[in-house]
Amino acid sequence: MPLCRLLETQGARTLRLPAVEIKALGDRRALAAQLGALENFDLIIFTSANAVRFGASFLDQKRDLTLAAIGPATARAMNLAGYRVAVLPQGTTDSEGLLRHPRLEHLSGHRILMVRGTDGRQLLQQELTRRGATVVEVDVYQRTPAIPTPATLAAIHDRFAAGEVHVITATSLSLGSALLDMATPELRSDFERVHWLVPAQRIAEGLRERGLNAPLLQSDSAEDQDLVSALIRWRSSVSGA
């Protein structure tokens, strides 16, 4: 995991606990036939790096399509797949930032394709529709909760009990919620005694609504370097350095 490797280069010890599993969704040929000619879309939006991973094949090596990506990680995945991203978020690396882009201001008569995972936020689709666009969504992957064994959860609890865990990262609300759902009562108590690192205020608010009362740290974005920088700032403030 890149974030773990980056933290470890800064001297941190990391503990990996998968909270969700990402699985491909749908029959590719059937979905492609349903979408029809991609040239009929004025814009194609990929909402995550996983959307690129499971949905870039829809592009069929066409290089003249107008593509958008939510966030730098998604744009990098597009570039690695051989595609140029024309529309990126403005100001923040999320749906709100993408909606600030000048090319998305006036959309009457436009057709937009969103390549995404199931259970994603509806803000982008709703706002694009409100601005006059016809939005077609295609779900190419799904998130399912991971199911760790009782032995795994007990081992995690032992690490907390030994004082070896100080921060939990939750880079999305779905990940944070999955962690809370999988926790045993003992582990749930552990979760309240450490800091949680999140990349957005809406994730912080969502976790509060789920009943989490632990102290929260917020990074500038979900980018790995921003997450690490937030942790370094926090450690410096705690240590007085």
Neighbour tally for 6: CB within 10 Å: 15
- Tell me how far the alpha carbon of residue 200 is from its chain's centroid: 11
pLDDT band (50, 70, 90) for residue 28: confident
66/73 Cα distance (integer angstroms): 18
User: How is the chain split into domains, by residue range?
Assistant: 2-19+146-235, 22-144
pLDDT in tens, 174-183: 899 999 999 9
Contacts of 165 (CB under 8 A, 6+ apart): 15, 159, 190, 194
Q: Is the pLDDT of residue 75 over 70?
A: yes
The confidence score (pLDDT) of residue 71 equals 86
Domains 2-19+146-235 and 22-144 equal at CATH topology level: yes
188 vs 238: which has the higher pLDDT: 188
Whole-angstrom distance, CA of residue 141 vs CA of residue 132 = 27
Residue 239's pLDDT is: 67
* Beta carbons within 8 Å of 236's beta carbon, 6+ residues apart: none
pTM for the whole thing?
0.83
**CA 132 to centroid of chain Cα atoms:** 27
Mean pLDDT of the chain: 92
What per-residue confidence (pLDDT) applies to 92? 84
CATH 3.40.50.10090 fits 22-144, yes or no: yes
For residue 8, name the pLDDT band (cuts at 50, 70, 90).
very high
Taking the C-alpha atoms of residue 184 and residue 166, their distance in angstroms, rounded to an integer, is 18
Kindly give the pairing relationship between strand 20-24 and strand 134-145.
Answer: antiparallel
**Backbone angles phi and psi of 138, in degrees to 5:** -130, 120
The edge-to-edge listing of strands for the beta sheet with 195-198 is: 167-169, 195-198, 216-218
Q: Is the pLDDT of residue 241 over 60?
A: no
Four-way CATH pick for 2-19+146-235: 3.30.565.10, 3.40.50.10090, 3.40.710.10, 3.30.70.100? 3.40.50.10090
Which three-class secondary structure state does DSSP give residue 190? Answer: helix
